[in-house]
Chain A
Amino acid sequence: MNVANAETLVFQSALGSHLFVTDGSRIYDLDADSAAALASADAPSMDSTLRRLGIADGARYISTEAPPLPDLHALSLTIAQACNMGCGYCYADEGRFGGAARMMPLETAMAGVDRLIMESQPGSDIVLGFMGGEPLLNRSVVHDTTRYAHKAAQRAGRRIRFSITTNGTLIAPEDAALFAAHPFNVAISIDGDRAENDRVRRMHNGRGSYDRIVAGLATLNRHGRPKHLSARVTVTPKTAELARTLDHIIGLGFDSVGFAAVLTSPNPALALKTTDFGRFLEEMIACGRIALGRLMAGERYPFSNFETALHEIHRGTHRPYPCGAGAGYLSANADGGLFACHRLVDDPAFAMGDLSSGSDRARRSQHLKHSHVDRMAPCNGCWARYLCGGGCYQEVAKRGRVGCDYIRGWLAFCLASYAELSQVRPEYFDGAPASIAAGLRAHTLAE
Chain B
Amino acid sequence: MTDEQKNVGHPRIFPRNLTARAAFVVRGNPVNSRPESGVDNTHPGLEFDQRNLDKTFFPGLEFEFQYLHGARLKAIRREQFERPNELTPADATGEIYLYYLYGAFGAQPAAARLVELHRADGSTDGYEVLRTVHDLEPGRIMVVIGTKDPSDLMRLGTGAFAIWQALEDPEQYLESQPAPGIFRDPETGRLLAAILVGNRAEYLDTNGMISLAAVPPGDLTRSLCAPWQWDFADCGCHYWAANKPDIVIGSDGDKQTLNFQRARGSNGTTHDKSVDPRKYADWIEQQMTQPQMISGWESLPFVIAERETDRAPARLPQALQLKWSRETIVREFRYLATIEHALAVEYLYAFYSLKAPLTPPSDTADPMVLDIFTAAQVVRSIAVDEMRHFRWVNEALQLLGAELCLERAEEFKRNDTDEQIRGKFELAPLTNERLQFFIDIEAPSKVWNQEEKLDGLYTQLLNALGNPDADLNLQMRRRLREIVKLIIDEGHSHWERFTHVQTLLSRYQPKEYLRVTEGPVERSTDPADVTNLRILADWNYLMVLRDIAEAFLHQPGTRNEHITDARRTMYNLDDTAVELAERGFGMRFKWNVEDLKDPQEKARSVNDALAELNQSSDHRVHRIAQNALRPLVRKSDHPSR
Chain A interface residues toward B at CB < 8 A: 15-16, 18-19, 21, 24-31, 33-34, 53-55, 57, 61, 313-316, 318, 418-419, 422
Contact = CB atoms under 8 A, between A and B. Distances in A.
Contacts of B22: 316
Given A31-B11, A33-B11, A34-B11, A25 B1 contact: no
B374 to A, nearest CB: 58
Given A24-B23, A29-B1, A313 B17 contact: yes
Contacts of B1: 15-16, 29-31
Contacts of A314: 17-18
B19 A25 contact: yes
B20 A316 contact: yes
A26 B23 contact: yes
A29 B16 contact: yes
Nearest to A34: B11
B27 interface: yes
30 contacts: A16-B6, A18-B16, A24-B19, A24-B20, A24-B23, A25-B19, A27-B15, A27-B16, A27-B20, A28-B16, A29-B1, A29-B5, A29-B16, A30-B13, A31-B5, A31-B6, A31-B8, A31-B12, A31-B13, A34-B11, A34-B12, A53-B11, A53-B13, A55-B13, A55-B23, A314-B17, A315-B19, A316-B22, A419-B16, A422-B16
Contacts of B19: 24-26, 61, 315-316, 318
A313 B18 CA distance: 9
Given A29-B1, A29-B5, A31-B1, A316 B18 contact: yes
Interface residues of B, number: 19
A26 B13 CA distance: 12
Nearest to A17: B1
A159 to B, nearest CB: 25
Given A31-B5, A31-B11, A54 B17 contact: no
Contacts of B209: none
A33 B17 CA distance: 21
A169 B19 CA distance: 43
B11 A28 contact: no
Contacts of B5: 29, 31
Contact of A26 (B8, B17, B27): B17
A34 B25 contact: no
Contacts of A31: 1, 5-6, 8, 11-13
A414 to B, nearest CB: 12
A34 B13 contact: yes
Contacts of B25: 54, 57
Contact of A316 (B13, B14, B17, B27): B17
Contacts of A18: 16
A34 B24 CA distance: 16
Contacts of A34: 11-13
B30 to A, nearest CB: 16
A28 B18 contact: no
A387 to B, nearest CB: 12
Contacts, number: 70
B13 to A, nearest CB: 5
B385 to A, nearest CB: 44
A55 B16 CA distance: 12
Contacts of B23: 24, 26, 55
Given A31-B1, A31-B6, A26 B11 contact: no
B6 to A, nearest CB: 6
Contacts of A15: 1
Contacts of B17: 25-27, 313-316, 418, 422
A55 B1 CA distance: 16
Nearest to B8: A31
A103 B5 CA distance: 62
A29 B11 contact: no
**Residue with the greatest number of chain A CB neighbours at <10 A, chosen from B11, B17, B24:** B17
**Residue with the greatest number of chain B CB neighbours at <10 A, chosen from A18, A19, A29, A313:** A29
A18 B16 CA distance: 9
A307 to B, nearest CB: 15
A54 B13 CA distance: 8
Contacts of A26: 15, 17, 19-20, 23
A54 B16 contact: no
B19 to A, nearest CB: 3
Contacts of B11: 31, 33-34, 53
Contacts of A54: 13, 24-25, 27
A25 B16 CA distance: 11
A27 B8 CA distance: 20
A33 to B, nearest CB: 6
Q: Which 6 A-B pairs have the closest CB atoms?
A: A316-B19, A26-B20, A29-B14, A29-B1, A27-B17, A27-B16
Given A27-B20, A34-B11, A315-B17, 11 more contacts: A16-B6, A18-B16, A24-B19, A24-B20, A26-B20, A29-B1, A30-B13, A31-B12, A313-B17, A316-B17, A419-B16
B12 to A, nearest CB: 5
Contacts of B24: 54
B196 to A, nearest CB: 48
A28 B27 contact: no
Interface string B23-67: 111010000000000000000000000000000000000000000
A24 B16 CA distance: 13
A112 B62 CA distance: 80
B158 to A, nearest CB: 65
Contacts of A25: 17, 19
Nearest to A31: B12
A389 B16 CA distance: 22
Nearest to A28: B13
Contacts of A318: 19
